[in-house]
Amino acid sequence: MNRETLLLEYYKAMLGARGHRGWWPAETPFEVCVGAVLTQNTAWTGVRKAIDALRGHGCLDPEALDALPLERLAELIRPAGYFRLKAQRLKNLLAYLRESCGFDLAELASRDMLQVREELLGVRGVGPETADSILCYALGMPSFVADTYTRRILSRHGLLPEDAGYDDMRDFFMDVLEPDTALYNDFHAQLVGVGHHFCKTRAPLCGECPLGPFLENPPG
């Protein structure tokens, strides 16, 4: 079985078992951008509280968030952890969005994906996973998002080494799959769900996992 066929079989198994994941949970593309920064090294429950705080104070608008003093922003996003660091990273991203497209995300989404990705990676505090999350989930571009769940699942299935780099994981999908934003979106979300619920760091539930049948040597 070639890699494209195998990956699509993985996806079909997860989709059939768990349904479409409907990820990213956000009301606007800009909210996705904010969440992509806030979710760095943080559980989504804390991110949700931070986003709700911003929304409650009328700050989930780019101009309003851009005008918010740094210390006030940090206080509002405290539930997301590393709040001072993330406040500065949000300000950095806001500066990029203001200068590059005047906060017009639809206009930004019309540009060349590779160029926009390079620009995002040039923003201090925006790494590959955050950049690809913004590209895929906020801008609707076909950029595959990889994360620690992706690495764990692929390595346990013998598809990539445990120390595979981010670009290696991303290319593992993008080198063979068609550039389909909807597929990339839900495929990543499915892997997150499987990683969270079944492919745990300790005591993985391989017998219950939709990807269990693909695993030759389940971890003990």
**pLDDT tens digits for range 126-174:** 999 999 999 999 999 999 999 999 999 999 999 999 999 999 999 999 9
One-letter identity of residue 113: M
Sign of the Cα pseudo-torsion (167, 192, 174, 14, in order): positive
One-letter identity of residue 5: T
Which residues lie below 8 Å from residue 177, measured CB to CB, with a gap of 6+? 4, 7, 8, 144, 183, 184, 187
Token pair recorded at residue 118: 């390079």
Instruction: Give CA separation, 85 vs 40, 43, 80, in Å.
Output: 11, 16, 11
Token pair recorded at residue 202: 């300790």
Give CATH 1.10.1670.10 domain extents, the chain. Answer: 3-22+145-214
If we measure between CA atoms, which residue out of 173, 210, 208 comes closest to residue 16?
210
Q: Residue 213: pLDDT above 60?
A: yes
Indicate the fold that domain 3-22+145-214 takes in CATH: Endonuclease Iii, domain 2 (1.10.1670)
User: Between helices 29-38 and 83-101, what is the axis angle to 10°?
Assistant: 140
pLDDT in tens, 103-132: 999 999 999 999 999 999 999 999 999 999
One-letter identity of residue 208: E
Predicted TM-score (pTM) of the model is 0.95
| DSSP 8-class letter at 77 | T
Give CATH 1.10.340.30 domain extents, the chain. Answer: 29-138
Across the chain, mean pLDDT equals 96
Superfamily of domain 29-138: Hypothetical protein; domain 2 (1.10.340.30)
Token pair recorded at residue 101: 């497209």
| DSSP 8-class letter at 180 | -
- d(CA 146, CA 33) in angstroms, rounded, equals 17
